[in-house]
Structure 1
Amino acid sequence: MTPAAFAARVAGAAIQSFTGETMGTDWSLHAVSAPAGTAAGVQAALDLVVAQMSQWEPDSDLSRFNHAPAGEWHRAPPEFFHVVAAAIDLAKVSGGAFDVAIGEWTERWGFGSAGPVDNLPGVLASPARGEIEIDAATSSIRRSNGAMLDLSGIAKGYGADLAAEWLLSQGVRHFLIEVGGELRGEGIRPDGQPWWVDVEMPPTSSIPSWRIALHDLSVATSGNYRRGLILDDRHYSHSFDPRTGRPIVNGVSSVTVLHRNCMMADGWATALTVLGPEAAIAIADAQGLAASMVVGDREFTSRAWREMLG
């Protein structure tokens, strides 16, 4: 179908807006011709993610898994298993820059369910820690000693995907959904335009913001200026380097990634933040990722990102 014919099908339709709360943040939806019950359906999809994958909810599947004895296999709900499997694949492809087994470290540094800490955690003798394993045949997962599951680097993006897939199943073809800053756009606006969004730049950067057309596309940004920890008059990033067990110190302010799936955009933005500019752009080029990284007042872009500009 041509863009003109596509636009004609929704021309004159109204854009309806919905909002809600989830995962300690807000969600919003702008949709064309949304049926009754749309807000409740989106909220239910996001509530499912919280119920399965939140480390702050003591009764979530993730929390119960983390507090069960190590070494035991646990059958996981399909959504939970899907995200864990995707995260483990991402860890392999990123060379360990993304790792879901760092829950113990995020807790020690005050970014987990226990809340902020008043003192620097003790230095770990070794960055080595346990692993999360999966069994695809039985949709089961298990952890070894020293491993605690943390899906905070990928769950919001998956929440946007799960809500988007529910909307598509209800016949809603044209919408923009946002969950805590991660966005997925499907179809077009009634005026034939795509869903335009502006990428937030770090407040200390003078680099102009990008405006991106989300037509069947997702975008996620990992910004180290948003969250962090101040101890002994020093700011520590909330982004962890799994290879050291400590917050990153590579000077990266933000990373933005475009991907068809919001979960993968979210996860890759987290991984590239850890890698730093040279390694991040190299792996983004190797993976065909459209990515932009801000380090101070310098911007680094991948080949796929530059090709989209043309």
Structure 2
Amino acid sequence: MRIAVPLDLSPEAARPPGGVLASFGGPTMGVAWSVTAAAPQGFDTAGVQAQVQGLLNRIVGQMSTWEPDADISRFNALPAGGWIDMPAAFAHVLARSLHWAKLSGGAFDPTAGRLVDLWGFGPAGAVGAPPSRPRLDEALSACGWDRLAVDGARAYQPGGLSLDFSGIAKGFAVDEVSRALTVLGLPHHLVEIGGELRGQGTKPDGQPWWADIEAPPEAPLPGGPIRVALHGLSIATSGDYRRSFTHAGRRYAHTLDPRTGEPVRHGLRAVTVLDRTCIDADALCTVLGVLGPADGPVFAQAHDLAAYFLLEDGEILSPRLAAMMD
């Protein structure tokens, strides 16, 4: 077992908060959410659970393309030249999306909704075969993060642009739940939404919230498991084994390269990113997964990211992640 801990961990960080472990959760975004927290004896976790569920329902009501009345769906339905007023949360997620889109040269693109649908990974439903070249070219021409204009709290629809936050919204939701728990009196907690996690504080006995870097069911990590102490850290993983379809003997994974419009094909099985915020960890998994085993580690080192790359024939650890394991 390999162990990774935050580089700025202080002795005070492990001071036991006491109390008891409390767990609760519910459904959101087509997956499950869960919280484990150090709670005082007799704490009203049922009340906190209801407030967290309400918070997540509001996020879904803004950012889910599966909801026809969501803000994101209303934007996608706008005619060319239309504007939409964005709630603060929506505007923040869009801003972080555009940040990583620009920094990655389009490896992350929140306007790739048409491509997501075309390949059967969106609300339009699954497909059994890849799209024709003309349909793919048409969808590609409708994408482009640099076509999207933002003016304060308003976003501009240039025509045919389809936003999709599936590569970042879960991470944002994890961060929002973590912030809410602290305000509601549970500052020591572990939050998970569909495999994206954030740990804050410690368990009642002072032990950290541990999480293992995810491996495909049939392929353990080549160098052995890696266990991470999530103290003020988030972890997110994107893998080619999570969603895919097979046609004519070839498997098409859900990680799409917005620059080509096609699923990636470069021998990278999965990417895991550790970051202070889950919104960035979530987005960066996609960035590095699209960039692949050659350009991904270069990007990770240039931006001092703690990243793990699982290849078909090995693994790569970014320098920052390696430093966390020394």
Q: Please give the range of the TM-score, normalised by the shorter of the 2 chains.
A: over 0.9
> How far did residue 114 of structure 1 move?
1.2
Q: Distance in 2 between matches of 1:258 and 1:50?
A: 24
Q: 1:260 aligns with which of 276, 288, 296?
A: 276
| Matched residue, 2:3 | none
> How far did residue 136 of structure 1 move?
4.7
TM-score, structure 1 as length reference: 0.94
CA contact (8 A) 1:3 1:192 kept: no
The size of the alignment, in residue pairs, is: 307
| Matched residue, 1:244 | 260
Q: Distance in 2 between matches of 1:143 and 1:101?
A: 11
> How far did residue 145 of structure 1 move?
2.9
| Matched residue, 1:135 | 150
Q: How does 1:189-204 map to 2 (within 5 A)?
A: 189-204=203-218
> How far did residue 297 of structure 1 move?
3.1
| Matched residue, 2:170 | 156
Q: How does 1:83-232 map to 2 (within 5 A)?
A: 83-123=93-133, 124-125=136-137, 127-132=140-145, 133-137=148-152, 139-207=153-221, 208-232=224-248
> How far did residue 277 of structure 1 move?
1.1
Comparing 31-40 with 213-222, which one deviates more in the overlay? 31-40
Partner SS state of residue 184, structure 1: strand
CA contact (8 A) 1:23 1:50 kept: yes
Question: For the structure 1 residues 305 and 56, does the alpha-carbon distance in structure 2 shift closer, same or farther, using more than 3 Å as the test?
Answer: same
For 1:304, the aligned partner's letter is R
Partner SS state of residue 40, structure 1: helix
Question: For the structure 1 residues 142 and 131, does the alpha-carbon distance in structure 2 shift closer, same or farther, using more than 3 Å as the test?
Answer: farther
> How far did residue 205 of structure 1 move?
2.3
CA contact (8 A) 2:109 2:144 kept: no
Partner SS state of residue 229, structure 2: strand
CA contact (8 A) 1:52 1:80 kept: yes
Q: 2:23 aligns with which of 10, 17, 20?
A: 17
> How far did residue 151 of structure 1 move?
0.5
| Matched residue, 1:292 | 308
Unpaired runs of at least 5, structure 2: 1-8
Q: Distance in 2 between matches of 1:203 and 1:60?
A: 35
For 2:15, the aligned partner's letter is A
> How far did residue 232 of structure 1 move?
3.0
Question: For the structure 1 residues 130 and 283, does the alpha-carbon distance in structure 2 shift closer, same or farther, using more than 3 Å as the test?
Answer: same
Partner SS state of residue 20, structure 1: strand
Deviations 1:212-257 (A, max 9, x none): 0000110000011011122233210101001100111112111000
Partner SS state of residue 73, structure 1: strand
Deviations 1:21-69 (A, max 9, x none): 1111111110111642111121112111111000111111111111111
Q: How does 1:39-58 map to 2 (within 5 A)?
A: 39-58=49-68
For 1:88, the aligned partner's letter is L
Question: For the structure 1 residues 4 and 24, does the alpha-carbon distance in structure 2 shift closer, same or farther, using more than 3 Å as the test?
Answer: same
Unpaired runs of at least 5, structure 1: none
Q: Distance in 1 between matches of 2:167 and 2:246?
A: 21
TM-score, structure 2 as length reference: 0.89
Q: 1:73 aligns with which of 80, 83, 86?
A: 83
For 2:173, the aligned partner's letter is G
Partner SS state of residue 79, structure 1: helix
**Higher relative contact order, chain-length normalized (CA < 8 Å, sep 6+):** 2
For 2:144, the aligned partner's letter is E
For the pair 1:309 / 2:316, whether they are aligned, the reply is no
For 1:23, the aligned partner's letter is M
Q: Distance in 2 between matches of 1:292 and 1:219?
A: 11
Comparing 173-182 with 300-309, which one deviates more in the overlay? 300-309
> How far did residue 134 of structure 1 move?
4.0
Partner SS state of residue 276, structure 1: helix
Q: Distance in 1 between matches of 2:322 and 2:149?
A: 37
CA contact (8 A) 1:206 1:297 kept: no
Partner SS state of residue 145, structure 1: coil
Partner SS state of residue 264, structure 1: helix
